[in-house]
Amino acid sequence: MFYVYVLHSIKRPTKYYVGFTKDLNKRVAAHNSGKSLFSRRYAPWQIECYIVFRDARKARRFERFLKSGSGHAFFRRHFV
**pLDDT at residue number 78:** 87
SS3 content of the chain, % helix, strand, coil (to 5): 45, 30, 25
Taking only the tens place, the pLDDT of each residue in 29-49 is 999 998 888 888 999 999 999
pTM reported for the whole predicted model: 0.92
| CATH number where 27 lies | 3.40.1440
Domain range for residue 9?
2-79
Give the residues across from 15 on adjacent strands.
none
The tally of domains found in the chain comes to 1
Cβ(42)–Cβ(9) below 8 Å:
yes
